[in-house]
Chains A and B, each alone.
Chain A
Amino acid sequence: MTTPTNTVADAAATRKRRMSRILGLGLLPILLVTLFVVLGLIEPRFLRSANLINILRNASFLMLIASGQMLVLIIGGFDLSVGAVVALTSVATALSMTGLVSVFPEAQLFVVLLGVMAGLAAGSMIGVVNGLTVAFMKVSPFMVTLGTLSIASGIALYATQGVPVYGMPDEFTREFGRLRYLNLPVVIYVTFGVLVALWWVMNWTRLGRYIYAIGSNAHAARVSGVSTTFYIVVTYTLCSFLAALTGILLTARIGSGEATLGGTLMLESIAAAVIGGVSLRGGVGRVELVALGALFLALVTNAMNLVRVDSKLQTIVIGVVIIVAVGIERFKSRGKIR
């Protein structure tokens, strides 16, 4: 475009693009730093290393599950079942470990390994069901995952009758659950590794490219020869796998299998993803920002705990944060529609 009007229009477009990039990228880190500084100033306990590690640990659980939620949101879906998957995984892991430990009392490490695999498999199965139903029956992901949410938490509750399952090997609950390296809980390392791997997948592999493409315009992806159904199933499975991983790490930390674990994680995972700039209409989202979104939520929760906000009031604050985040997301995307 060489005409002067077009150059002006181009410059305006560039400015607009830069503006939206600042809105999308810059706001969250700035908000985080501000929150951090303000908290540090008004509440000295905030800066204690034990508190900071605690925030990082809580954020890690959320980052894991939110990055799974992000995958599903980017492909244009929705996963309400992640919280129930955490519960199901917790129960499946605990029950299989306690069962196996009586069979192989000497081989605790083997029992732990089998138990972890059983938990991951049980959780991921829910994702397979979600993916197959969404991809082939073309049912709205909202309803499908609402259904599997009910099924998964039903199984978990029925299997335990609502009673926590104790008796897992010490290797799992003590050694692994409280394992630290350089004074940081092992969860943080696991999460960091997963996030880096996901970043790589989303930016440098065909799988990542197709997840964006399908969420952006499924029809276009299909006519370009992308097997959309296959990638939808893979994405839902990955999401549930990450939720299951979260479930195992949480179980190791609390030391028992609980059918009520992860009750708030579904809402929080969606919140963290949306705060991190993931579009509810699909096609847009970056794992590094979702991690920041999760960190933001963990900070807010921690701050409320420190200044002793009633836990019942806290859920109200989280609700407000979610609505504001969705409002900002909507506002940002309005300019893009032509």
Chain B
Amino acid sequence: MGTQDKRDMASGDTAPVDQSGGSDPSLLIEMKGIDKRFPGVCALDQVDFDLRPGEVHVLFGENGAGKSTLINVIAGSFAADGGSYMFCGEKLGRLTPYHAREIGISPVFQEFSLAPDLTIGENLFLGRELASVGVLNKGEMRAQAKSVLEDLGFDLEPHARVGDLPRAQQQMTEIAKALLREVRVLILDEPTASLSERETDRLFEIIDRLKSEGVGIIYVSHRMAEIKRVGDRVTVLRDGRKIGTVDADAVSEENLVEMMTGRTFDAFFPKIEHRPGDVALATTGLTTKNRQVIDVDFSVRAGEVVGIAGLVGCGKSELARAIFGLHEITAGALMLYGKTITSPTPSQMLKSGLCYFPSDRVAEGLSLSRPIRENVSLAALDLADFASKGFLKIGSEKARAAAIVDKLQVVPLDTEKQVEFLSGGNRQKVMLSRGLARDINVFLLDEPTVGIDVGAKTEVYNLIKEMAEAGAAVVVISSELPEVLHLSNRVYVMHRGYLAAELTGEDITEANVLAHFFDRDHETEETSSKISEGSGP
């Protein structure tokens, strides 16, 4: 396949910025001065990147640092606005996802490219079915799908419907899809986010095998232990710029966090003075109707930050949602300030001083087309400050909103600006401001920093610090381990709906938390010691 396609694409070159200087034909990928702009943001600014055959090159950085943009440029989903992109010593012009696959660049994105209503086998061949004159050769495809899955050692049935599979198996299907044809560059975007430890080990074995075959692997990850385990080199991106490339063996966690955030480790995660007081919120044996939360005993005291960690789909966000009345509770008790609440509803919980801040701000949190002011006051319109007898008090609402927006330093300060024009960080601040618009003492924050930049993250962390030190009870539910590790007074780990562990004080380490992420029967001394090498103090 390959060469013909490559020549075709080179002739259709639309990014003629010629970077003089020798290119190295032994590199699989060599990118120089890549620029990518989206309306209003510069997602990539003069980024250089290269990939050698047989290495794992880790991309590391915050959300929004440009990692996904870069892998999308490499995979042909986005066209770069400037810079040069060489593949095996040949310059690539306009690349489409289809052509990228044809020349052996195979991406595995976090957002799956699977059709849930088709079977695994059908998904593996999607877009490149074996067919003659449009008529499918089903038998041959079935046989090939089976042999690929067996070869990878994945325990998947080719005829299972993808939508019925748990997320981990969908992830494996996606990886099998990427490896169906011959691959020269494999892109893995947070591949282990939903895999169990055993499946992760299997993936690492496959990675080792591919490396020995000379495949170059681009690996996007946040997990320190993993970077140490599979990575050869690490490139750190921040705000669309490349900060540096380092050897994975020679770099420490503090170094990487400092490169990633541009702040010293201590300045990034503020030191919170926890002064645990009375129990603010407690559950005993809490179980939801959808069985995503099972028999959970959990508590948070006034004046402390409690973290909840766990894999995607472990029930950590469902726990908070159930407490706020968004999932039906079938068993167990819920106590707020010692008062038992039988079937919570959001309006009742708000009145009692508890607020849940959803992770998906666009889908659940904000009215994008409405001004900041209305978003700030939305959960407090029953208060006398904002309305009486059904009539809004716009003047008072404006003043209150302006004061809150000013306190949180939302940009722009204009309370009449529609929320859709705000950046991710400022949207989050508008959401959190709802907690300030009324008397809230228990904050349930679901992924509070997802999709926001480093600066805004620090501000959110500082806000959490302020709230906790002012005596509020704060629950931080997060998939970002460092966040949970460094902000919390206590950490709960959830696994398949159950509470797997509660960690306090010195026990809050990455190794301890990760050890409870997975099925216990797969846990071994060896792996946990391996993980602890990579984690910081």
Contacts and interface: CB of A to CB of B under 8 A. Distances in A.
B113 A212 contact: no
B77 A223 contact: yes
A3 B77 contact: no
B118 A212 contact: yes
Nearest to B75: A223
A217 to B, nearest CB: 5
Interface in A3-40: 3, 13, 17
Interface in B117-144: 117-118, 122-123, 126-129, 131, 134-136, 138
A100 interface: no
B364 interface: no
A308 interface: no
B13 to A, nearest CB: 21
A3 B520 CA distance: 11
A13 B138 CA distance: 26
4 smallest A-B Cβ distances: which pairs? A224-B127, A283-B117, A216-B115, A225-B127
A219 B111 contact: yes
Contact of B127 (A212, A221, A338): A221
Contacts of B128: 224-225
A235 B51 CA distance: 42
B134 A225 contact: no
B129 A206 contact: yes
Interface string A223-257: 11110000000000000000000000000000000
Contact of A338 (B134, B313, B521): B313
Contacts of A219: 111, 113
Given A17-B164, A205-B135, A206-B136, A223 B113 contact: yes
Residue of A3, A216, A226 most packed against chain B (CB within 10 A):
A216
Nearest to A200: B135
Given A1-B155, A17-B164, A224-B126, A205 B136 contact: yes
B117 A209 contact: no
A50 interface: no
Interface string A132-169: 00000000000000000000000000000000000000
Interface string B54-91: 00000000000000000000000100000000000000
A220 interface: yes
Nearest to B98: A225
B117 A215 contact: yes
A279 B161 CA distance: 16
24 contacts: A204-B138, A205-B131, A209-B118, A212-B117, A213-B118, A213-B122, A216-B115, A216-B117, A216-B163, A217-B116, A219-B111, A219-B113, A220-B115, A221-B115, A223-B97, A225-B97, A225-B98, A226-B127, A279-B117, A283-B115, A336-B116, A336-B164, A338-B163, A338-B313
Given A209-B129, A216-B117, A3 B519 contact: yes
B116 A283 contact: yes
Nearest to A283: B117
Contacts of B167: 338
B132 to A, nearest CB: 10
A284 interface: yes
B interface, size bucket: 20 to 34
B515 interface: no
Contacts of A279: 117
A207 interface: yes
B521 A220 contact: no
A209 B136 contact: yes
B475 interface: no
Contacts of A3: 519, 521
Contacts of B97: 222-223, 225
B217 to A, nearest CB: 19
Chain A interface SS verdict (over half): helix
Nearest to B109: A223
A338 B113 CA distance: 16
Nearest to A284: B117
Contacts of A217: 112-116
Contacts of A220: 112-115, 123, 126
Contacts of B114: 217, 220
A309 B164 CA distance: 44
A209 B131 CA distance: 11
A224 B113 contact: yes
Contacts of B161: 17
B519 to A, nearest CB: 7
Nearest to A214: B115
Contacts of B138: 204
Interface string B146-189: 00000000010000010110110000000000000000000000
B136 A204 contact: yes
Interface in B497-534: 519, 521
A56 B127 CA distance: 39
Residue of A1, A212, A224, A226 most packed against chain B (CB within 10 A):
A224
Contacts of B313: 338
A75 B101 CA distance: 25
Given A206-B134, A225-B128, A212 B101 contact: no
Nearest to B116: A216
Contacts of B77: 223
A203 to B, nearest CB: 8
A13 B165 CA distance: 9
A213 B126 contact: yes
Residue of B123, B126, B155 most packed against chain A (CB within 10 A):
B126
Contacts of A336: 116, 163-164
A222 B109 CA distance: 14
A216 B118 contact: yes
A13 B134 CA distance: 34
Interface string A278-295: 010001100000000000
Contacts of B519: 3
Contacts of B122: 209, 213
Contacts of A206: 129, 131, 134-136
B135 A204 contact: yes
A3 B199 CA distance: 14
A317 B129 CA distance: 45
Contacts of A338: 163, 166-167, 313
A284 B113 CA distance: 18
Nearest to B130: A206
A212 B119 CA distance: 11
Contacts of A212: 115, 117-118
B134 A226 contact: no
A205 B126 contact: no
A99 B313 CA distance: 67
A148 B519 CA distance: 56
Residue of A206, A216, A223 most packed against chain B (CB within 10 A):
A223
A219 B77 CA distance: 11
A77 B338 CA distance: 52
Contacts of A225: 97-98, 101, 127-128
A17 B161 CA distance: 10
A212 B126 CA distance: 11
A204 B130 CA distance: 11
Nearest to B174: A220
Contacts of A207: 134
Contacts of A205: 131, 134-136
